[in-house]
Structures are given as structure tokens and as C-alpha cells.
Amino acid sequence: MTAFWTSPDFDEHERVELVHDRASGLTAFVAIHSSHLGPGAGGTRFWHYPDPAMAMRDALRLSRGMSYKNAMAGLPMGGGKAVILANVARDKTPAMMAAFGDAIEALCGTYVTAEDVGMSEADMAAIAARTSYVTGLPAQGTGDRGGDPGPHTSRGVFLGVREAVRVGLGKHSLSGVHVAVQGTGSVGGGLARHLASQGARLTLADIDAARAERLAAELGGEAVPADAIMDIECDVFSPNALGAILDDEGIARLRAPVVAGGANNQLARAHHGDTLAERGILYAPDYVINAGGIIAVTHEYLARREGRTLDIAITHAAVDAIPARLAEIWEAAHAKHAAPSRVADAMAQQLIGRG
């Protein structure tokens, strides 16, 4: 495997850890990109990678994205991410979660973890038995609204899609707006339900075809094969699965004037944001539109650390600010004749002291 510091995805990361526990079979990467605003914060991904180098690449890219996401959301947290390398069967054991919790504890609060792809609230609870540097935990009582960040993410993405439709299409209603949703899991599925409630026309796809078909039947939409969703002629293409889909080939396939979705690291490389702009496609920077989840779990974490009751109204207000943040980026991009992705990156870099 290539040394991480020679990788094109290495961006002056402050810390990159390889964690291996022979007894449990745990192998993981933890990457901390920036602690300028606070401890590195970001979820743990549990995924099977054919090549460990792909896992390292994810950890590097996702942790940088978390630096930008937390900064742009106004959170007192830096950027970090963990990736646990799953086997083909995706076997996950209590011993593995315990070992991972011990690894997080050994980082002494420089990294705070939460739920991501392949992880659950139950996994977070198991990790929390070994360390306090974890959030997204199951609710413990009526005053504690913690847990799965997915609904907050999907709500924020929905608000961002609605703003993108206003700015990019000049429409103040989602009624009849055709949205192609890639990925119907926690975030994509929640987004689809929000959109359907507002009268949007939906085309859905997922690598789990049956899941997409069930949701389409529930919402009165159409399901298509996963490999066909990027070719759909629509008003909005909404990526809500894994990242790096907006490369040369992917962008060439798009038949939508707006791209707005919850997936992380949608752009394969920074210049692909320029390609979207050159094609006249309005792009919602992913780490801005999908910040609802990290906003929620950060508020939960801070409330627990400070021994106070979480005020969910404050969390909702912070998620409600996502459309205004996107509008600010698009307005600046228009004024500077620049890609929204470049403008957002410059804003985030300034906030983390790397402007």
C-alpha cells in the first residue's frame, strides 16, 4: 500500500492512525484532518474494501470533508473520520466494537466518533461502553433526543434541495419537480419521503433493488436499476449513496440542471466541480447540504459533556440554516464567476486557518 503521506488525498492531515487488534480481528484507520476548531469529529464507516488502500483513501477524503463540514456548520469541532475494514461477509462482533472503543479512548479525546455507513446506534452504545468520546447514542430518556443522525441529515438535504430548486430552476414549489434519488437508505429514503410529501415526482434507485422498489411503491414513484439512475432526465439528481460518482464519466451522463444530495465526497476530484459549473449544472456542495447529522450529534455530544439537557429546538434551528448557507455560496459563486465547490472550499479553508 502506498504511504498515506504521498497520496493525492493527503491534505496536511494532523494524524493518521492504523489500528489493529489481533484478538478481535479489528483493523481500522483513523484520520484527523484538522483540530483548529476543536477535536476531530466524524463518523465511523464499516465497509468491505477489496484493497486496504481504498479504505485509507476514504479515511483521508472523509476526514477532510468533516473539517469543512463542521466549520461551515459553525460547530466547535475539527474534522476526523474512522474506517473499519470489514471482511466480505461484513462480520461484526462485540469484541471488535470493544477493541475499537479502546482505540478511540487511547486517542484521549482528539477524535470523537459517531455513526456512519455500516454502523448502528447499537454499535455506538457498544463503543460507548469503552470510551466517552462517542455520540449518536440511543435516547436515554424524554429529555435526551440523541441517536441516529440520519433523519436530521435527510431533513437538511431536503431543505437544501428545495433551495436549489428555487435558485436553479426558479421554482418556489416542489410540486411536479422530478427528482432522481440515488440511494434509498436512511438519508435517501428520508429525503424521498420529504419530497413526496411536497408533491415531487420521484425516480429511485439503490444497490438493494428491492428496497428501492418498496419505497417507490409506498411513495408512488418509479424504481430503476442502480446503474441507470444517472442517465435519468430530471430536474434534480440527488446522490445519497457512496461518493466519488461525479467524475468525467458520471458528469457526462447527467441530464439534470441541479445536483443536490446527501452523499459525502461526491466530486471525484476538485476540478469536477468546475466541470459541473461549465455545463451550467447548479451543484450543492455536499458537506454543506448534508451537515444535519453532524449538527445533531455534535449538539448531543456537547450537551452530554456539559451535563445539560439537549434542546432539540436549537438543533432544528441549526439545520434550518443550511439553505441560507447554500444561497450565500451560490451568490458568491455567481459574483466571482467561480464554481460553487471552489467558493465553499475557500470559505471552509479560511475557517480552519488554512486560507
pLDDT digits (tens, 9 = 90+) for 184-217: 999 999 999 999 999 999 999 999 999 999 999 9
Within 10 angstroms of residue 14's Cβ, the number of other Cβ atoms is: 17
> Backbone phi, then psi, for 20, in 5-degree steps?
-140, 130
Rg of the chain taking only CA atoms, in angstroms: 19
The confidence score (pLDDT) of residue 8 equals 83
Among 81, 92, 171, 336, the active-site one is: 81
- pLDDT tens, 275-334? 999 999 999 999 999 999 999 999 999 999 999 999 999 999 999 999 999 999 999 999
Q: What global pTM score does this model have?
A: 0.93
Confidence of residue 146 (pLDDT cuts 50, 70, 90): low
Give just the sign of the alpha carbon dihedral 232, 236, 239, 245: positive
**Range list of H helices, the chain:** 52-72, 94-106, 121-128, 150-169, 186-197, 209-219, 248-253, 271-278, 286-289, 292-305, 312-320, 322-336, 340-351
| Residue spans per domain, the chain | 4-63+79-128, 150-289+324-351
Asked if 306 and 135 count as a contact pair (C-beta separation under 8 A), the reply is no
Q: How far apart are CA 255 and CA 30, in angstroms?
A: 37
Q: Is 81 known to be catalytic?
A: yes
Query: Which of 77-86, 116-125, 141-150 bottoms out in mean pLDDT, i.e. has the lowest?
Result: 141-150
Pick the closest to residue 97 from 129, 126, 139 (CA basis): 126
Q: At 212, which amino acid appears?
A: A
In the predicted model, what is the mean pLDDT of residues 73-93?
96
Q: For position 242, what pLDDT does the model report?
A: 81
> Given the C-alpha cell 410540486, which residue does it identify?
175
Fold assignment, 4-63+79-128: Rossmann fold (3.40.50)
Percent of the chain with pLDDT over 70: 97
pLDDT of 1 higher than 70:
no
344 has pLDDT over 80: yes
pLDDT band for position 143 (50/70/90)? very low
pLDDT value at position 144? Answer: 46
Question: Residue 261 pLDDT more than 70?
Answer: yes
C-alpha cell at 19: 489500528
Spatial CA neighbour of 105 closest among 73, 137, 70, 129: 129
Q: For residue 142, what pLDDT is reported?
A: 45
The rounded percent of the chain whose pLDDT value lies above 90 is 90
Q: Residue 149: its pLDDT value, please?
A: 86
Which grid cell is 157?
A: 438535504
pLDDT of residue 78: 98
Q: Kindly tell me if the per-residue pLDDT of 50 is higher than 60.
A: yes
Q: Of 90-94, 122-126, 139-143, 234-238, where does mean pLDDT reach its minimum?
A: 139-143
Burial class (CB in 10 A: 0-12, 13-18, 19+), 71: buried
How far is Cα 9 from Cα 155, in angstroms, rounded to an integer?
30
Distance CA 317, CA 339 (A): 28
> In the block, which residue shows the cell 484478538?
23
Q: Looking at residue 220, what DSSP letter applies?
A: T
User: Would you say residue 17 has pLDDT above 60?
Assistant: yes
Do the domains 4-63+79-128 and 150-289+324-351 sit in the same CATH topology, yes or no? yes
State the Cα–Cα distance between residues 281 and 339, nearest whole angstrom.
10
Average pLDDT, rounded, for the chain:
94
CATH number for 150-289+324-351 (one of 3.30.930.10, 3.30.450.20, 3.40.50.720, 3.20.20.10): it is 3.40.50.720
- What whole-number distance in Å separates Cα of residue 328 and Cα of residue 303? 29
Whether pLDDT at 111 is above 60: yes
Cell of 315: 438543533
